[in-house]
Structure 1
Amino acid sequence: MNTPSRFSRRRLLAATAAGTAVLAAPRSLFAASPNDRMKVAFVGVGGRGGSNLGAIGKSGAVDVVAVCDVDSRFVDHAATTHSGARKFSDFRKMYDAVGNDIDAVVVSTTEHTHAYATMPALQLGKHVYCEKPLAYNVYETRRIAEAAGKAGVVTQMGTQIHATSNYRRVVELIQSGAIGDVSEAHVWVSRAWGHQSEAEATKHGDRLFVDKRPKESMTPPAHLDWDLWLGPAPERPFHDVYFPGPNWYRWWDFGNGTMSDLGSHWNDLPFWALKLDAPKTVESSGLPPHPEIAPASMTSVYEYGARGELPPVTLTWYQGTHKPEIWKQKGIPQWGSAVLFVGSKGMLLSDYGKHVLLPESDFADFKRPEPFIADSPGHHEEWIRACRGEGTTGSPFDTYAGPLTEANHLGNVAYRVGKKITWDAKAMECVGCPEAAPFLRREPRAGWSLG
């Protein structure tokens, strides 16, 4: 099953419906026989990568042919389970060595290297599963989404909650009009990691995170290739405030804090249910922006225009100590992290595993719509089956994961420039705000390129 697929199943079906002949569809487009196993390389095999390797690598449809990580401990551990896999520390060398011998790649590196580990696979015509967020900034996200669309391969971003039954039932309720026209959505998460005041740190029982780049350096552990870990990010000496994870994710050079991380899961629900696309404006607030570290607490307000028959809607994101006013006034159940939809006929409150229509008394006799979104076989299994020509994925890079990731990044862009931004999605720029440009795109360190 080594033939690269240049057509997605979605595109094949569309072409067939239009009466277009598909003369030489690759065999990986169609259902494979039980003995036709997919050859997969894994980039990043510790932490989330280890979980992805365990979930995908155990599939009877998959052969693990390569494992790659900048931490040799993880590579060696992965190889004990998959003894036939070749071992690498540099994914660029991995692609040179096995790029023509694989069908798919799973990327589970740190956020700032996602795009650089993913792009070669797309350029080679390989299916890709990439952890969230899809890429480090808006520019990289757009490049990956466009490359995925051009390649026509099967892609999936690691938004595992997207595959749950709870999210599907919520989407059905919203899209069938259970609470009427939705004018507001509120998303809040209680995680408070990053730059924060002493009061916030005390409230959350967290030590005040270091708010300055260390002046002293440390010797990297022998099992870590620090230069490869830095990848395209600006060079700096090793220090344990960056490594191991999740320390790195708070530093702007390597990640984008809670918004790009948990936003991938929590904003996923309103993005899906309300058919959101590119926001018209975004305005964020919190402590004054720190030059090095993402905020622990922040609020971002997104304004979306009409989408077909759907009316304009405001989506507000809260993290850390920030919460919606209705939550603070105890007008709804005090769930620590949740999504609240506000409609003309009522409200719907949801978290990862449950949801409720509010006020409950108004919906005592409510009859739910018949399910119209099929349950997923599981987020990883969904991708594996789609790679074999069986169904589609819920979070493909070009049509869904890319726009969702871009929107999340824009919340941080608005926060860092300190004012409301107007977003021109086509031009990929904040209108009349040139100071936003460095937060939308950065030049990679020498030796690194998206091609």
Structure 2
Amino acid sequence: MKENEEKAAGASRRDFVKTSALAAAGFTIVPRFVLGKGYRAPSDTLYYASVGLGGKGASDNSAFVKSGKAKPAFLCDVDQDYAAKIYNQYPDAKKYTDWREMFDKEHKKFDAVHCATPDHTHAVVATAAMALKKHIYVQKPMAHDVYEARMMANMGNKYKVITQMGNQGSSGDGVRQLQEWFDAGVIGDVTEVYCWTNRPVWPQGSYGANTPNGLKWPQASTTPPSTLNWDLWQGTAKERPFPIGQDQPGGVKILPFNWRGWWDYGTGVLGDMGAHILHAPMKVLGLQYVSSVQTSISGGGSLDVGPASNYTIMTFPKTAKTSGPVRVHWMDGGMIPPRPVELDPSEQWGSGDGGMLFIGTKGKMHAGCYASRARLLPVSRMDDVNVPEKIARVKDGEGGHYAQWVEACLAGYGNMKTSSPFEEAALLTEAMLMCNLAIRGVNVPKAADVGSTSDAAGGRRRGGGGFPARYVNLEYDAPNMKVTNVPEVNQFVKREYRPGWKLSGI
């Protein structure tokens, strides 16, 4: 037997041993990775590891499995009580508490990773997965900080893996319809877009009679539940004691959902809904990096927690699809733009979760959250306008977002596109996070002149200190990820992680 043939025979025997071991461990179908590069199991099943199982993690897993071509081989969560339902739903999957341990021990036994942890750990999980050359699906927003998003933007291409952010509206028909209308010149050139949402629906800012001055981390602490690894849950964030609950004076409830309003862990309203509502304007108009951002807030907010509402304006430079700069207005916490006069009184204005309005030189178009129910204004124009369908639709629309990622992973890098690959999702995420930078920045005191009592326009500042980001349009040097006119806010571009946590493979 020739040397190459002997090696091939040895490899086949080793593969058989691996396959047998996996079957004994609960796998009923041979995973693709066992068969080697370029080969697939007869079932075309994607075996993946899932990190973060409660809430959105649970529905994500159900959607992947519903595709008929994916199976969670490993499940990981820091909260065993919260994850119990998913553990029971997939009893064959091996369970872990620390994803780093899971990656270290099991990375040869799965092809892809799903991440639905709180926002502050998205990037560390995702970069570690990509560095191991695993396909990755990350819930929105794909990152907590501008720096993280920028570092992740090209990693899918660098490691030749399939990437997808969990903004399922990017797979919907609505954004494609809006894009076809705009590309056909139906509403002319666009310079203004309005976006809004009903969020927050969690405690944030000045929230109710018990927190008239805004939420604060309790001075008193308690022992976390025995089923929760609080240290692992904090992840990259600074260490804090587990807070007393909201049933006690001065207490708060962080888990399982209210972390969204706390800047150490969540990304506020923009992080929750921006990816669903800002995606269409950015995609339709070809928007890239913001050039400036300005904001006003109400209902509290601090360096620890987001405000109850905000109105933020992003300015984007001219693109290949616009004649000049575009201003995108973001409103939340109950604020919405004026109802267009062209909208019939019987027509729905946006949707329950929010909406968007494109104002063009020849007309307007609007849609709800996820770009659903796309409409021309006045709606009667839809009877007269006939634009050919040129952009391929995703099977099952928004619901097909998950199966699309599974199919792309099985097809292999370079063979199939996803609706929200990281190179596009990073632009969207950075725009959202630049809004957050402005929102957080209004509470940052002036570095060199904290005692100043007047602003650049000669007005008094609230609290007697200097707050240079208030009443200012922040100018952004995108190539260098720096705000040039108010350097105090650049601390939010990149945060410091706790020891033991880092980005991988950048």
Match of 1:93 among 84, 101, 108: 101
Match of 1:408 among 420, 432, 455: 432
Secondary structure at the aligned position of 2:154 is classed as helix
Distance 1:396 1:36 in 2: 22
Alignment of 1:322-401 (within 5 A): 322-324=335-337, 326-327=338-339, 332=343, 334-335=349-350, 337-352=354-369, 353-361=372-380, 363=381, 365-377=383-395, 378-389=400-411, 391-397=416-422, 399-401=423-425
Match of 1:283 in 2: 294
CA change 1:245–1:74 in 2 (3 A) is closer
Distance 1:345 1:186 in 2: 17
CA change 1:364–1:110 in 2 (3 A) is closer
Match of 1:51 in 2: 59
Secondary structure at the aligned position of 1:443 is classed as coil
Distance 1:313 1:391 in 2: 31
Q: Which amino acid aligns with 1:350?
A: A
Residues 206 and 213 of structure 2 are in contact (CA less than 8 Å); yes or no, is this contact kept in structure 1?
no
Shift of 1:118: 1.0
Residues 342 and 348 of structure 1 are in contact (CA less than 8 Å); yes or no, is this contact kept in structure 2?
yes
Shift of 1:167: 2.5
For structure 1, the 5+ residue unaligned runs are: 5-24
Q: Which amino acid aligns with 1:91?
A: W
- Larger-gyration structure (1/2): 2
Residues 78 and 228 of structure 2 are in contact (CA less than 8 Å); yes or no, is this contact kept in structure 1?
yes
Match of 1:445 among 473, 491, 498: 498
Q: Encode CA deviations 1:215-265: one digit per residue, 9 max, x unaligned.
A: 111221121110110011011111243532321000011112101210010
Q: Which amino acid aligns with 1:54?
A: S
Distance 1:78 1:422 in 2: 46
Residues 32 and 45 of structure 2 are in contact (CA less than 8 Å); yes or no, is this contact kept in structure 1?
no
Secondary structure at the aligned position of 1:338 is classed as strand
Shift of 1:331: 6.5
Q: Encode CA deviations 1:392-449: one digit per residue, 9 max, x unaligned.
A: 100001x211110001000111222233211122111112332122111111011111
Match of 1:293 in 2: 305
Distance 1:149 1:165 in 2: 26
Secondary structure at the aligned position of 1:357 is classed as strand
Q: Which amino acid aligns with 1:323?
A: I
TM-score by length of 1: 0.87
Match of 2:328 in 1: 315
Q: Which amino acid aligns with 2:288?
A: D
For structure 2, the 5+ residue unaligned runs are: 1-30, 246-251, 442-468
Secondary structure at the aligned position of 1:314 is classed as strand
Identity of aligned residues (%): 35
Residues 44 and 410 of structure 2 are in contact (CA less than 8 Å); yes or no, is this contact kept in structure 1?
no
Match of 2:87 in 1: 79
Shift of 1:52: 0.9
Distance 1:68 1:340 in 2: 40
Distance 1:106 1:89 in 2: 15
Q: Which amino acid aligns with 1:255?
A: G
Residues 197 and 208 of structure 1 are in contact (CA less than 8 Å); yes or no, is this contact kept in structure 2?
yes
Shift of 1:295: 1.6
CA change 1:188–1:34 in 2 (3 A) is same
Residues 3 and 27 of structure 1 are in contact (CA less than 8 Å); yes or no, is this contact kept in structure 2?
no
Distance 2:60 2:162 in 1: 17
Q: Which amino acid aligns with 1:85?
A: A
Distance 2:286 2:421 in 1: 15
Secondary structure at the aligned position of 2:100 is classed as helix
Distance 2:360 2:409 in 1: 38
Secondary structure at the aligned position of 1:435 is classed as helix
Q: Encode CA deviations 1:62-95: one digit per residue, 9 max, x unaligned.
A: 2321000001124443232322211100000010
Q: How many residues align?
A: 419
Distance 1:364 1:231 in 2: 50
Shift of 1:127: 0.3
Q: Which amino acid aligns with 1:449?
A: K
Shift of 1:175: 2.2
Distance 1:2 1:73 in 2: 32
Distance 2:317 2:233 in 1: 40
Q: Which amino acid aligns with 2:217?
A: R
Q: Encode CA deviations 1:152-181: one digit per residue, 9 max, x unaligned.
A: 210000001221222221222122221111
Alignment pair present for 1:230 and 2:234: yes
Distance 1:322 1:36 in 2: 47
Alignment of 1:159-174 (within 5 A): 159-174=167-182
The worse-fitting range, judged by mean Cα deviation, of 283-292 and 102-111 is 283-292
Distance 1:376 1:135 in 2: 25
Task: Please report the RMSD computed on the Cα atoms of aligned residues, expressed in angstroms.
Answer: 2.4
Match of 1:66 among 71, 74, 77: 74
Match of 1:19 in 2: none
Q: Which amino acid aligns with 1:129?
A: Y
Alignment pair present for 1:218 and 2:222: yes
Distance 2:33 2:417 in 1: 19
Distance 1:209 1:257 in 2: 18
Distance 2:482 2:146 in 1: 10
